[in-house]
A and B are shown apart, each in its own frame.
Chain A
Amino acid sequence: MTATDARAGVPAPATTPVPTVTPLLTVLGAPGASCEGDSCSF
């Protein structure tokens, strides 16, 4: 949007598409027992 557009109250053209966020993975269920770093869920 340019400054002129803003002053005139003209809506800026929607030139930038809204990014679609696609998760790489769908995580199923609650996490089970695991280790993270040097710490494990005991």
Chain B
Amino acid sequence: MTDIAASSEAIKIDIWSDIACPWCYIGKRKLEFGIEEYASTEGSVPVEIEYHSFELSPDTPVDFDGDEIEFLSGHKGIPAEQASQMLERVTGIASSVGLDYDYDALKHTNTVKAHELMHYAKAHGLQLEMKERLLKAYFVEGRHVGRIDDLADLAAELGLDRADVVRSLESGENVAAVRADQRQAQELGIQGVPFFVFEGKYGVSGAQDPATFAQVLAQVAGERVEVGS
């Protein structure tokens, strides 16, 4: 491989993330802004993104009868008023990156099937589109992302074969892939999400500002040039 090829090869970002994770959607947007910022610099190289499964709360039931405030107060013991203030704050931050979170409509659910669908979509070349669709469905549209039929509807919107998605989710054929992602997260010491791994060696935790992501990309690209020179 020539030095030029080595330096122009896409920078890989592996992202561990959940669907029911307000900072994961905000972090996704901030990363995208950061990539745009980095891409506008001279000599920038393409970026390749791959999402990995991370279940924050695997014991959450598929159907939770109540809203997010009731979940936080009932599950976490946070007083309802405080929970309301917390959601108001995160909604404001989401809005600052162009995301219109609707916690009144949000349907709290278990996300393992959504993660299985992410792996299905990856196998069909639509992982990034599926991630965006699932996050938007959950945080903005108040759609259910825990039931197979609802997930199949979302997948079909992207052009995936609805019947085959139902078959896949009912069979659980991607559960092993979800678990493998979670094992890898554990091996890497990832405890919270979103978590971004650049080129398999640098970790960036949480929904950082776009400038931070741009800076890390520039650093990774710069190190390639140093190694190649």
A contacts, CB < 8 Å to B: 24-29, 31-42
Once the chains bind, are B76 and A27 in contact (CB under 8 Å)?
no
Task: Give, as a whole number of angstroms, the nearest-CB distance from B91 to chain A.
Answer: 10
B contacts, CB < 8 Å to A: 18, 21-24, 26-27, 56-57, 60, 75-76, 86-87, 89-90, 93, 187-189, 191-195, 197, 201-209, 212, 216, 219
Once the chains bind, are B86 and A37 in contact (CB under 8 Å)?
no
Inter-chain CA distance A41–B192, complex, in Å, is: 10
Task: Enumerate chain B residues within 8 angstroms of A37, measured Cβ to Cβ.
Answer: 56-57
Once the chains bind, are A40 and B195 in contact (CB under 8 Å)?
no
Interface of A is mostly: loop
Once the chains bind, are A36 and B56 in contact (CB under 8 Å)?
yes
CB-defined A-B contacts under 8 Å, sample of 29:
A25-B188, A25-B197, A26-B202, A27-B202, A27-B204, A27-B205, A28-B216, A29-B204, A29-B208, A31-B192, A32-B205, A32-B208, A32-B209, A33-B27, A33-B93, A33-B206, A34-B23, A34-B193, A34-B194, A34-B206, A34-B207, A35-B23, A35-B56, A35-B193, A39-B76, A40-B23, A40-B90, A42-B87, A42-B89
Once the chains bind, are A35 and B22 in contact (CB under 8 Å)?
yes
Inter-chain CA distance A36–B93, complex, in Å, is: 19
